[in-house]
Amino acid sequence: MCGRSSLTKTEKEIEKRFHATFYSEELERYNPLPNYNVAPGSFHPVITNQDPEYIHLYKWGLIPFWAKDKKIAYSMINARAETLMEKPAFKNAFKHNRCIVPLDGFYEWKNINGQKIPYRILTSDQAIFSAAGLWDKWVSPEGEIIFTFTIITVEANAFMQNLHDRMPAILFPEEEKIWLDNSIKEGDLKSLLDPYPSELTTAYRVSKEVNNARNNYPELINESTD
Residues labelled catalytic:
2, 108
Smallest CA-to-CA distance from 46 within 82, 18, 72 is with 18
Asked if residue 57 lies in contact with residue 148, where contact means CB atoms within 8 angstroms, the answer is no
The per-residue b/e assignment along 15-36, b for 16 or more CB within 10 angstroms, e otherwise, is: bebbebebeeebeeeeebbbbb
CB atoms within 10 A of CB 11: 16
Bridge-based pairing state of the strands 115-123 and 201-205 = antiparallel
CB atoms within 10 A of CB 123: 18
Task: State the number of CA atoms in the 13 A half-sphere of 106 facing the CB.
Answer: 25
